[in-house]
C-alpha cells in the first residue's frame, strides 16, 4: 500500500498559481491525467475519477489495483472513503476503500441483492445501495453494517439523499420516487416525458431537480412536492448530469460533452456557460476553497483531463443571506431587554409590532447589501402612461420604476443626468434581484422632487414561519429561569474560587420554526450555552495549553453544571421526550500554538478513526487514538468537544432515551492565546412544542 494524501497539497499549490495568474471567471487549472475520465467525484480538493472501470486520483494512482469493472463510484462526504460498485457476470458487489492509501479495503458488501446504484448521505453517515430487487439498503459508514431498508417501487439506478436526511430519491427510466425517511413512506412520484438522466437535492434542502434526456430540467419544491414544478427549463441539450451549486441558487447542468450551463434557478435569463472545446465532459461538481470559503470552483472532467475552474461571476443567494440576517436581528429584538418589565415587553413586542419590525429590518439589511447600485447604472427614459401620468425610468441592471410626473413637466426629464436619487431603499424580488422599493428623485433642473413608493409590497422574508406569540412568551419566561440557574451556579463557582468575573457564561433559549418531512410546520426548541474567559485568566479558569480533559476547565465545568441543573428542572425536562430527536451540536476550539512534541492521550473518551466532524464549518473527518497521541490542534479541539459529550451521556441520562444526533464542530483560530481554547454546546429539540 502507498500513501496518496499528497493530492490535496499539490492541488492547493496549483490553485495558488491560478490566483497569481488571473482573478477572472476563466481562471482554471487542467490536470492532465493519463486515463480518460468518465466520471469525477470529490471531497473538497480530494478528487478521484473513473476511467475504464478503474478509480484513479489526480496523480494517476489507482485507488485499488484489484478493483475492476467499476460502474459507479462515490466519495464519502468528509473524505475518508470511496465506495465502488463493481460489476460482475454473476453477481455485482460494493467495495469501500480508504482514500488516503491505495489498496486499503475498508468493507466489502457482497450479498445476493445484485446492487445497481449507490450514494452517500450528505452528512457522510450513511451509504445507500439500491439493487435489482427494488430495495434500497442503508449502511452505517462506521461499521458498514445494514441498519434499515426500504422497498421502493422501482429498481433504482440512481440514488439521492437530502442534506437534512428527510428524503430518499430514486429513479430508473422515466420515473422517480421520493420517500419520507422519517415515516418510511412514499412521499410522491414523478414521471418524466423522457429518460431521467440525474436527480439531485439542493444543499439548503428546499429544492429537488430532475433532468431528462430531452434537455428538460424540472425543479420541485420539497416542502409541497407539487406535481407542478417550482421552476422549469428547456433546451439544455441532453442534460446528462446536474449538480447544485453550494449556494442553492445555481444548478450546474451538463448540456453536452462540451458545455456546462450554470442556471440561476430563480431567473431564466441568468445563465453562465463553461466550455471545453475538446469535449469529454461527463458531470460537474463544485469545490469551496478551504482557505477562503468565498472562492469556489467548478470541477469537471474532459478529454484533456480534470479541470478546476474558478467561479467569480455568480451572484450570491441574496434571498438566503437576507433571511438569515433578518432572522438574527429579529431574534435579538424579540428578547426581553435588561430591566424591561413583562408589561413593557408585551407592549413593545406583539403580533403587530413584530410584523412591522421584520419589514423594517428587511428594508434596512437589503439596502445595506445593495449598496449604491444606482450610481453604477445607466438611466434611460422608458414609456409614459398618459392615463396615469407615469413616467418609466429604466436601469440596465435593475427593474424599472414609474414616477408620477405631470405631462407638462416631461420636458424637464430629457437629460437623465439631471436626476438625483436620495433616501433610496432596496428590496429583493422573486428573481433574487435587487430592486428599488422607495426613492426620492430630484430633478436638478427644476428642483422638484418625485417620490417612488412601493414599501407596501409583500416582503420576501414574510411567510408562514412566524412562531405564535404565546410560544415566544413562554420561551422568554424560561429564559429568565435559565438565567437564575446560571447566576446561582456562577456565584457558587466564584465563592469556591473556581472562576471569577473574568469568565462570562451566556445562556439562551429560542423557538425555531421548521418543517417536517411531510411539509408540515413544526416548532423546535433551542437552548445554547457558551462562555468566554478573558485572556489573562484563561489558563487558570479555562483549558491550559495542551489540555483537553473537561474537568481541567473550571469555566467548562461551570457551564456543564448549568446544563445539568436546567434539565433536572421541570421547565426544561418537559422537552426530553423518549423517541423524539434532539440535535446536539458541540463546538470545541483550539488556538494556533504549534504542538512541537506529541501530547499523550489517555484514551478517556475512546479511540476514533475517521470520525465525522465539521472543521471551521466544513464537513471533514478526524482520527485520534491512545497509541498515536495528539499531534495537531484540531485533535485537541475535538477531544474538548468529546469531553462535553461524555459529560452529557454520564450526567444527563434522561437524554439517552431520545434519539441524540451529535454533531462535532472543530474551530481552529489563526492566533495563539488561551481565549481561543473553549467549548460551547447547543441543543435543538425537534418538534418539541405543539401549536
Tens of pLDDT, residues 418-444: 999 999 999 999 999 999 999 999 999
For the entire predicted model, the pTM comes to: 0.91
pLDDT tens, residue by residue, 255-269: 999 999 999 999 999
pLDDT score recorded for residue 648: 96
Closest CA to 31 of 13, 44, 43, 19: 13
State the Cα–Cα distance between residues 428 and 459, nearest whole angstrom: 8
Question: Which pLDDT band, with edges at 50, 70 and 90, does 359 fall under?
Answer: very high
CA dihedral 593, 598, 603, 609 (to 10 degrees): 80
**Cβ within 8 Å of residue 65, ≥6 positions away:** 102, 103
Q: Is the pLDDT of residue 350 over 80?
A: yes
Q: Is the pLDDT of residue 37 over 80?
A: yes
pLDDT score recorded for residue 21: 38
Q: Is the pLDDT of residue 19 over 80?
A: no
Q: Is the pLDDT of residue 51 over 60?
A: yes
Question: Which pLDDT band, with edges at 50, 70 and 90, does 472 fall under?
Answer: confident
pLDDT score recorded for residue 202: 97
Closest CA to 170 of 130, 139, 202: 130
pLDDT score recorded for residue 293: 67
State the Cα–Cα distance between residues 476 and 150, nearest whole angstrom: 42
Question: Which pLDDT band, with edges at 50, 70 and 90, does 4 fall under?
Answer: low
pLDDT score recorded for residue 22: 37
Q: Is the pLDDT of residue 16 over 50?
A: no
pLDDT, mean of residues 633-656? 95
Question: Which pLDDT band, with edges at 50, 70 and 90, does 1 fall under?
Answer: low
Question: Which pLDDT band, with edges at 50, 70 and 90, does 25 fall under?
Answer: very low
State the Cα–Cα distance between residues 65 and 78, nearest whole angstrom: 24
pLDDT: which is higher, 194 or 111: 194
pLDDT: which is higher, 463 or 375: 375
pLDDT score recorded for residue 26: 52
Closest CA to 169 of 144, 205, 201: 201
Of 371-385, 454-468, 580-594, the one with minimum mean pLDDT is: 454-468
pLDDT score recorded for residue 225: 95
For 526, the 3-state DSSP assignment is: strand
Closest CA to 691 of 404, 534, 471: 471
Question: Which pLDDT band, with edges at 50, 70 and 90, does 463 fall under?
Answer: low
pLDDT score recorded for residue 2: 62
pLDDT, mean of residues 278-298? 87
Q: Is the pLDDT of residue 462 over 80?
A: no
pLDDT score recorded for residue 18: 42
DSSP string over 373-390: -GGG--EEEEEEETTTTE
C-alpha cell at 324: 438569515
Q: How confident is the prediction for the chain on average, in pLDDT?
A: 91
| Most confident region among 98-102, 408-412, 613-617, 680-684 by mean pLDDT | 680-684
Distance of alpha carbon 53 from its chain centroid, rounded? 32
pLDDT tens, residue by residue, 210-234: 999 999 999 999 999 999 999 999 9
pLDDT score recorded for residue 464: 58
Of 22-31, 383-392, 647-656, the one with minimum mean pLDDT is: 22-31
Query: For 365-396, b where at least 16 C-beta lie within 10 A, e where not — what string?
Result: bbbeebeebbeeeebeeeebeeeebebebbbe
C-alpha cell at 103: 489498496
Amino acid at each position: 500500500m502507498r500513501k496518496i494524501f499528497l493530492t490535496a497539497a499539490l492541488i492547493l499549490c496549483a490553485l495558488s498559481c491560478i490566483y497569481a495568474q488571473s482573478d477572472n471567471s476563466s481562471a482554471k487549472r487542467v490536470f492532465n491525467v493519463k486515463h480518460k475520465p468518465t466520471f469525477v467525484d470529490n471531497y473538497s480538493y480530494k478528487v478521484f475519477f473513473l476511467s475504464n472501470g478503474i478509480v484513479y486520483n489526480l496523480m494517476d494512482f489507482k485507488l485499488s489495483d484489484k478493483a475492476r469493472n467499476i460502474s459507479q463510484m462515490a466519495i464519502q462526504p468528509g473524505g475518508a472513503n470511496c465506495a465502488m460498485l463493481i460489476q460482475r457476470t454473476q453477481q455485482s458487489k460494493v467495495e469501500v476503500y480508504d482514500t488516503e492509501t491505495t489498496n486499503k479495503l475498508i468493507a466489502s458488501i457482497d450479498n445476493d441483492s445484485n446492487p445497481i446504484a449507490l450514494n452517500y448521505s450528505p452528512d457522510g453517515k450513511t451509504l445507500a445501495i439500491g439493487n435489482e430487487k427494488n430495495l434500497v439498503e442503508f449502511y452505517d459508514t462506521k461499521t458498514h453494517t445494514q441498519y434499515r431498508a426500504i422497498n421502493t417501487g422501482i429498481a433504482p439506478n440512481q440514488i439521492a439523499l437530502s442534506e437534512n436526511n428527510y428524503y430518499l430519491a430514486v429513479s430508473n427510466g422515466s420515473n422517480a420516487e421520493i420517500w419520507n425517511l422519517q415515516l418510511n413512506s412514499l412521499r410522491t412520484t414523478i414521471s418524466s416525458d423522457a429518460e431521467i438522466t440525474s436527480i439531485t437535492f439542493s444543499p439548503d434542502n428546499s429544492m429537488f431537480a430532475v433532468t431528462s434526456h430531452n434537455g428538460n430540467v424540472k425543479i420541485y419544491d420539497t416542502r409541497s412536492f407539487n406535481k407542478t414544478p417550482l421552476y422549469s427549463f428547456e433546451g439544455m441539450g441532453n442534460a446528462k448530469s446536474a449538480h447544485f451549486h453550494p449556494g442553492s441558487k445555481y444548478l450546474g447542468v451538463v448540456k453536452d460533452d462540451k458545455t456546462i450551463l450554470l442556471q440561476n434557478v430563480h431567473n431564466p435569463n441568468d445563465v453562465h456557460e463553461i466550455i471545453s472545446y475538446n469535449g469529454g465532459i461527463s458531470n460537474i461538481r463544485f469545490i469551496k476553497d478551504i482557505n477562503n470559503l468565498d472562492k469556489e470552483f467548478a470541477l469537471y472532467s474532459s478529454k484533456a483531463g480534470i479541470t478546476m475552474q474558478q467561479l467569480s461571476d455568480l451572484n450570491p443567494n441574496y434571498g438566503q443571506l437576507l433571511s438569515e440576517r433578518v432572522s438574527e436581528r429579529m431574534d435579538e429584538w424579540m428578547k426581553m431587554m435588561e430591566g424591561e418589565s413583562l408589561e413593557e415587553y408585551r407592549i413593545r413586542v406583539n403580533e403587530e409590532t413584530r410584523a412591522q419590525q421584520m419589514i423594517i429590518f428587511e428594508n434596512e439589511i437589503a439596502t445595506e447589501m445593495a449598496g449604491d447600485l444606482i450610481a453604477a447604472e445607466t438611466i434611460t427614459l422608458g414609456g409614459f402612461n398618459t392615463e396615469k401620468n407615469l413616467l418609466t425610468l429604466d436601469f440596465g441592471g435593475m427593474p424599472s420604476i414609474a414616477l408620477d410626473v405631470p405631462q407638462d413637466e416631461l420636458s424637464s426629464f430629457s437629460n437623465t443626468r439631471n436626476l438625483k436619487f436620495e433616501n433610496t431603499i432596496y428590496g429583493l424580488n422573486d428573481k433574487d434581484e435587487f430592486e428599488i422599493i422607495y426613492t426620492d428623485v430630484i430633478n436638478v433642473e427644476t428642483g422638484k422632487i418625485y417620490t417612488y413608493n412601493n414599501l407596501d409590497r409583500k416582503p420576501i422574508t414574510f411567510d408562514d414561519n412566524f412562531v405564535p406569540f404565546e410560544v415566544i412568551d413562554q420561551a422568554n419566561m424560561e429564559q429568565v429561569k435559565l438565567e437564575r440557574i446560571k447566576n446561582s451556579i456562577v456565584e457558587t463557582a466564584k465563592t469556591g474560587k473556581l472562576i471569577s468575573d473574568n469568565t462570562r457564561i451566556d445562556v439562551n433559549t429560542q423557538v425555531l420554526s421548521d418543517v417536517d418531512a411531510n411539509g408540515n410546520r413544526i416548532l423546535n426548541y433551542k437552548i445554547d450555552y457558551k462562555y468566554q474567559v478573558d485572556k489573562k485568566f484563561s489558563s487558570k479558569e479555562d483549558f491550559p495549553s495542551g489540555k483537553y480533559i473537561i474537568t481541567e476547565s473550571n469555566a467548562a465545568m461551570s457551564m456543564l453544571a448549568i446544563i445539568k441543573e436546567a434539565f433536572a428542572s421541570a421547565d426544561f425536562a418537559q422537552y426530553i421526550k423518549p423517541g423524539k430527536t434532539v440535535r446536539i451540536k458541540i463546538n470545541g476550539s483550539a488556538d494556533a500554538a504549534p504542538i512541537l512534541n506529541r501530547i499523550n492521550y489517555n484514551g478517556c473518551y475512546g479511540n476514533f478513526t475517521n470520525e465525522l466532524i465539521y472543521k471551521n464549518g466544513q464537513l471533514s473527518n478526524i482520527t485520534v487514538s491512545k497509541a498515536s497521541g495528539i499531534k495537531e490542534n484540531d485533535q485537541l479541539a475535538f477531544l474538548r468537544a468529546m469531553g462535553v459529550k461524555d459529560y452529557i451521556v454520564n450526567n444527563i441520562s434522561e437524554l439517552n432515551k431520545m434519539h441524540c444526533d451529535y454533531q462535532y464542530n472543530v474551530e481552529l483560530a489563526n492566533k495563539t492565546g488561551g481565549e481561543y481554547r473553549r467549548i460551547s454546546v447547543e441543543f435543538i429539540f425537534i418538534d418539541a412544542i405543539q401549536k
